[in-house]
Structure 1
Amino acid sequence: MPNRRILSLWFPRLGAERLIRRDPALAEVPFATVTETGNAQSLAALSVAASRAGLYPGQPLRDAHAACADLLTRIANPHREAAFLGSLHRWAGKFSPWVAREAPDALVIDLTGCAHLFGGEVGLLAQVEQDCADLGLSVRAGIADTLGAAWALARHGGARAGSHRSGDAVDQEARATRSRAGKRRHWERGGAAPALLAPPGPDVTRIAAPGKTYGALAPLPVAALRLDAETVEALSRLGLRRIEDLAGQPRAALARRFGTGLVARLDQAMGAAPEPVAPAAPPEHFSIRLTLPDPIGLEADLMAGLDRMLPPLCDKLRRRGRGARRVRLEAYRTDQSMEWALVSLARATRDPDRLRPLLAMKVAEIDAGFGIDMLRLDVVGHEPVHAAQPAGHLEAGRAVSERMRADTALEDLIGRLGARLGLEAITRRHPASSHIPEKGALTLAAAWSEAAMPWPDVARGRPLRLWRPEPVHAPDAPDPPRTFRWRGRDMSARAATGPERIAPEWWLDEPDWRSGQRDYWWVETDRGERLWLFYAHGGALSSGWFCHGTAG
Structure 2
Amino acid sequence: MPSSSSSRRFLSLWFPRLGAERLLRRTGGDPARPFAVIETAGPAQRLHSLSAGATAAGLVRGQPLRDALAMCPELTTRLRNPQAEAAFLAVLRRWAGKYSPWVGTSGEEGLSLDITGCAHLFGGEEGLLAAIDGDCAGARLSLRAGVADTPGAAWGLARFAGQDAGHHRSGDAVDQEARATRSRAAKRRHWERGGAAPGARMAGVEAQRIAPPGQTRSAIAGLPLAALRLDGESLAQLSRLGLRRVSDLIDQPRAPLARRFGPQVVLRIDQALGQVPEPVSPVAEARPFAVRMTLPDPIGLESDMLAGLDRLLPRLCETLERAGRGVRLIRLQAFRTDHTMQWVAAGLARPSADPDRIRPLLAMKIEEIEAGHGIDMLRLEAVQTEPLPARQAVGHLAAGRVIADRLADTTAHDDLVARIGARVGMEAITRWHPASSNIPEKTALTLAAAWSEPASDWPAPPAPRPLLLWRPEPVTAPGASPPPGRFRWRGRDLTLAEAAGPERIAPEWWLDEPDWRSGIRDYWRITTGTGDRLWLFFAHGAALSPGWFCHGQFA
TM range (shorter): 0.7 to 0.9
Structure 1 residue aligned with 2:438: 435
Alpha-carbon distance in structure 2 between the residues aligned to 1:7 and 1:312:
42
Alignment CA distance shift 1:473-1:370 (3 Å): same
CA contact (8 A) 1:170 1:189 kept: no
> 20, 24, 28: which is aligned to 2:28?
24
Alignment CA distance shift 1:23-1:237 (3 Å): same
Within 5 A, what are the aligned runs for 1:265-304?
Answer: 265-304=268-307
Q: Deviations over 1:78-115 (max 9, x none)?
A: 11111111111111111111111112110001111112
> 210, 215, 220: which is aligned to 1:212?
215
Alignment CA distance shift 1:383-1:111 (3 Å): same
Per the alignment, in what secondary structure is the counterpart of residue 313 of structure 1? helix
- Report the Cα offset of residue 475 of structure 1: 6.3
CA contact (8 A) 1:533 1:547 kept: yes
Task: Name the stretch that deviates more: 354-363 or 416-425.
Answer: 416-425
Within 5 A, what are the aligned runs for 1:225-236?
Answer: 225-236=228-239
- Report the Cα offset of residue 510 of structure 1: 3.9
Alignment CA distance shift 1:468-1:266 (3 Å): closer
| 1:343 partnered with 2:346 | yes
Alpha-carbon distance in structure 2 between the residues aligned to 1:231 and 1:544:
50
Structure 1 residue aligned with 2:181: none
- AA aligned to 2:407 is E
> 314, 318, 322: which is aligned to 2:317?
314
Alignment CA distance shift 1:440-1:388 (3 Å): farther
CA contact (8 A) 2:463 2:503 kept: no
Q: Deviations over 1:379-431 (max 9, x none)?
A: 2222222225597956654443333x2x2111111110011111122111122
Task: Name the stretch that deviates more: 275-284 or 456-465.
Answer: 456-465
Alignment CA distance shift 1:390-1:19 (3 Å): same
Alpha-carbon distance in structure 2 between the residues aligned to 1:382 and 1:106:
28
Per the alignment, in what secondary structure is the counterpart of residue 265 of structure 1? helix
| 1:74 partnered with 2:83 | no
Alpha-carbon distance in structure 2 between the residues aligned to 1:249 and 1:170:
29
- AA aligned to 1:385 is L
Alignment CA distance shift 1:350-1:271 (3 Å): same
The CA RMSD measured in Å over matched residues stands at 3.3
Alignment CA distance shift 1:285-1:191 (3 Å): farther
Alignment CA distance shift 1:390-1:320 (3 Å): closer
Structure 2 residue aligned with 1:531: 534
| 1:86 partnered with 2:86 | no
Within 5 A, what are the aligned runs for 1:114-263?
Answer: 114-161=118-165, 185-187=188-190, 195-196=198-199, 203-263=206-266
Instruction: Report the TM-score when normalising by structure 1.
Output: 0.88
Alignment CA distance shift 1:472-1:120 (3 Å): closer
Per the alignment, in what secondary structure is the counterpart of residue 330 of structure 2? strand
Alpha-carbon distance in structure 2 between the residues aligned to 1:241 and 1:540:
51
| 1:37 partnered with 2:41 | yes
Structure 1 residue aligned with 2:454: 451
- AA aligned to 1:81 is E
- Report the Cα offset of residue 140 of structure 1: 0.9
| 1:520 partnered with 2:519 | no
- Report the Cα offset of residue 321 of structure 1: 2.2
Structure 1 residue aligned with 2:509: 506
Per the alignment, in what secondary structure is the counterpart of residue 65 of structure 1? helix
CA contact (8 A) 2:494 2:528 kept: no
| 1:468 partnered with 2:478 | no
- AA aligned to 2:225 is V
Per the alignment, in what secondary structure is the counterpart of residue 455 of structure 2? coil
Task: Name the stretch that deviates more: 509-518 or 368-377.
Answer: 509-518
Alignment CA distance shift 1:69-1:272 (3 Å): same
Task: Name the stretch that deviates more: 157-166 or 58-67.
Answer: 157-166
CA contact (8 A) 2:33 2:52 kept: no
- Report the Cα offset of residue 20 of structure 1: 0.6
> 77, 101, 107: which is aligned to 1:103?
107
- AA aligned to 1:56 is V
Alignment CA distance shift 1:191-1:462 (3 Å): farther
Alpha-carbon distance in structure 2 between the residues aligned to 1:167 and 1:369:
46
Alignment CA distance shift 1:141-1:390 (3 Å): same
- Report the Cα offset of residue 26 of structure 1: 4.8
Alpha-carbon distance in structure 2 between the residues aligned to 1:478 and 1:163:
71
> 395, 400, 408: which is aligned to 2:405?
400
> 362, 365, 372: which is aligned to 1:362?
365
Alpha-carbon distance in structure 2 between the residues aligned to 1:231 and 1:483:
60
Aligned residues: 540
Alpha-carbon distance in structure 2 between the residues aligned to 1:331 and 1:215:
50
CA contact (8 A) 2:32 2:52 kept: no
- Report the Cα offset of residue 253 of structure 1: 4.5
Alignment CA distance shift 1:189-1:453 (3 Å): farther
| 1:59 partnered with 2:63 | yes
- AA aligned to 2:91 is S
Alpha-carbon distance in structure 2 between the residues aligned to 1:80 and 1:378:
14
CA contact (8 A) 1:440 1:459 kept: no
CA contact (8 A) 2:14 2:159 kept: yes
- Report the Cα offset of residue 323 of structure 1: 1.8
Per the alignment, in what secondary structure is the counterpart of residue 155 of structure 1? helix
CA contact (8 A) 2:47 2:62 kept: yes
> 10, 13, 34: which is aligned to 1:9?
13
- Report the Cα offset of residue 485 of structure 1: 6.0
- AA aligned to 1:86 is A
- Report the Cα offset of residue 166 of structure 1: 11
- Report the Cα offset of residue 196 of structure 1: 3.7
- Report the Cα offset of residue 122 of structure 1: 1.8
Alignment CA distance shift 1:50-1:427 (3 Å): same
Per the alignment, in what secondary structure is the counterpart of residue 46 of structure 2? strand
| 1:326 partnered with 2:334 | no
Alignment CA distance shift 1:514-1:203 (3 Å): closer
- AA aligned to 1:89 is R
Alpha-carbon distance in structure 1 between the residues aligned to 2:370 and 2:235:
44
Per the alignment, in what secondary structure is the counterpart of residue 417 of structure 2? helix
Per the alignment, in what secondary structure is the counterpart of residue 203 of structure 1? helix
Alpha-carbon distance in structure 1 between the residues aligned to 2:484 and 2:513:
27
Alpha-carbon distance in structure 1 between the residues aligned to 2:50 and 2:258:
37
CA contact (8 A) 2:486 2:493 kept: no
Alignment CA distance shift 1:465-1:248 (3 Å): closer
Alpha-carbon distance in structure 2 between the residues aligned to 1:390 and 1:482:
69
Alignment CA distance shift 1:395-1:529 (3 Å): farther
Q: Which runs of 5+ in 1 are unaligned?
A: 173-180
Structure 2 residue aligned with 1:381: 384
Alpha-carbon distance in structure 2 between the residues aligned to 1:489 and 1:389:
67
- Report the Cα offset of residue 509 of structure 1: 4.4
Alpha-carbon distance in structure 2 between the residues aligned to 1:171 and 1:299:
49
Instruction: Report the TM-score when normalising by structure 2.
Output: 0.87
Per the alignment, in what secondary structure is the counterpart of residue 481 of structure 2? coil
Per the alignment, in what secondary structure is the counterpart of residue 281 of structure 2? coil
Alignment CA distance shift 1:33-1:386 (3 Å): same
- Report the Cα offset of residue 271 of structure 1: 2.0
- Report the Cα offset of residue 146 of structure 1: 1.0
CA contact (8 A) 1:44 1:57 kept: yes
Residue identity (%): 59
- Report the Cα offset of residue 491 of structure 1: 4.8
- Report the Cα offset of residue 302 of structure 1: 0.8
Q: Deviations over 1:482-502 (max 9, x none)?
A: 7766552645535x5443221
